[in-house]
A = this chain, B = another copy of it.
Amino acid sequence: MPQTKFWLPESDIPTHWYNVVADMPNAPAPVLGPDGQPIGPDALSAIFPNAVIEQEVSRERWIPIPEPVREIYQMWRPTCLVRAHRLEAALGTPAHIYYKYEGASPAGSHKLNSAIAQAYYNKQEGVTRMTTETGAGQWGSSLALAGQMFGIDVRIYMVKVSYQQKPFRRSMMQTWGATVLASPSMETASGRDALAKDPNNPGSLGLAIAEAVEEAASRADTNYGLGSVLNHVLLHQTVIGLEAKKQFEMAGEYPDMIFAPCGGGSNFGGVAFPFLADKAAGSDVRLVAVEPASCPSLTRGHYAYDFGDTVGLTPLMKQYTLGHDFMPPSIHAGGLRYHGASTLVSQLYHEKLIEAVAVPQLATFEAGVTFARAEGIIPAPESCHGIRACIDEALRCKQSGEAKVLFFNLSGHGHFDMASYDKYFSGELEDYAYPEEAIVAALARLPKVPA
């Protein structure tokens, strides 16, 4: 029985998060206000606690993880590193395939890593309520549980169509004590406006963000939590890669290539950034961000200043973007439907320190089913993107005879996404590649940055 699972003791839960900014060849491009000037940290203080804002702009390499956060990480961390012997055999590849199983968190994905940290810092600064938005539900579930851990009331604006179609994600959030509101709601001016125009408005992630931010900005006791894109969120996710490095030592191997899905960037950044530090020290590990072909910001977007939201309320961030009003088709990996990529991921991609690949939807589900039939776990549709790219490489190794060490982040399970698998099996899913002219048109609408 060759060893399959590599467990670290709880004492090896990282004591610090790794801040990739410290090792970037160039400082991150500044975030700009509407006047084209870099914005200061206090522009964010209406909706974020100071500790989080400090992390957002920090250049320190190591940021201590507070003990109460580590104690809650103990619920499910360290997560397991698994050698996928059965998948290797099913593919007939000489490659060694490893995955880290972040779906073991009670909320079902890596998102909980940042949710716990955000809830902690808010609690420390006297915040008693937090708002957020959720679409697919992974982030909303995570913040619901995190709020429960620290006695914070969590109010989640859930896109109305998801609220209706994914009742079980909603009941999960309610089980952990959160209030879930169908967005557009009557709770905010943004919601009321939208409903006045169209009482049947099905909602959108952009509108749900607007509602959550509006409520947080308008109340002193309330802050806002975001599940990806921003630097501090990616920072919190680095526990994944940090644990994996120790686990690869246990396994006596080191990855040649690392794959992770990339939407906003927290999944990819979490697993890849700690290995990027090794690249600076001479490692030639290849870090591959995997995005959906239907929303290909890194592989087909422009590197430019753009808004973080669809309606243009946020400051401008330099990013690979398809244009902030780019409307990705309704693919089922809801967590990857974002028009841009985080500033950090974008800049590292621009500087060729990381790679990116886009994969079509049907192929990702095929990979997910292959994985489930070999390794048991049914992956979330987002996670299937990383699996697809890893399997493709494993099959190339089969051709070349190379025994490469391949590693992907299994960011979540698919227990709340079986409707998507159903559609895949019944042939209702299609591939979709955005027409070039639509991308050109969306990019033509990029905001002008004042000089």
Contact = CB atoms under 8 A, between A and B. Distances in A.
A70 B105 CA distance: 25
Contacts of A434: none
Contacts of A168: 415, 418-419, 422
A369 interface: yes
Contact of A1 (B71, B76, B175, B369): B71
A108 B415 CA distance: 10
A20 to B, nearest CB: 27
Interface stretch (A4-12, A212-220, A285-293): A4-12
A416 B373 CA distance: 19
A67 B2 CA distance: 12
B176 A373 contact: yes
Interface in A417-439: 418-419, 421-422, 425
Given A75-B375, A175-B372, A422 B167 contact: yes
A7 B76 CA distance: 12
Given A1-B70, A145-B376, A167-B418, A425 B174 contact: yes
Interface string A131-147: 00000000000000100
Contacts of A446: none
A162 to B, nearest CB: 14
Given A4-B10, A5-B74, A167-B422, A106 B416 contact: no
Nearest to A67: B1
Contacts of A117: none
Given A1-B67, A10-B3, A106-B378, A372 B415 contact: no
A76 B86 CA distance: 13
Interface in A210-267: none
A177 interface: yes
Given A10-B1, A74-B1, A418 B177 contact: no
A377 B106 contact: yes
Interface string A188-202: 000000000000000
Contacts of A425: 171, 174-175
A421 B1 contact: no
Given A4-B74, A70-B1, A176 B106 contact: no
Contacts of A71: 1
A130 interface: no
5 contacts: A1-B67, A4-B10, A171-B421, A171-B422, A415-B415
Interface of A: 1, 3-5, 7, 10-11, 67, 70-71, 74-76, 104-108, 145, 148, 167-168, 171-172, 174-177, 369, 372-373, 375-378, 413, 415-416, 418-419, 421-422, 425
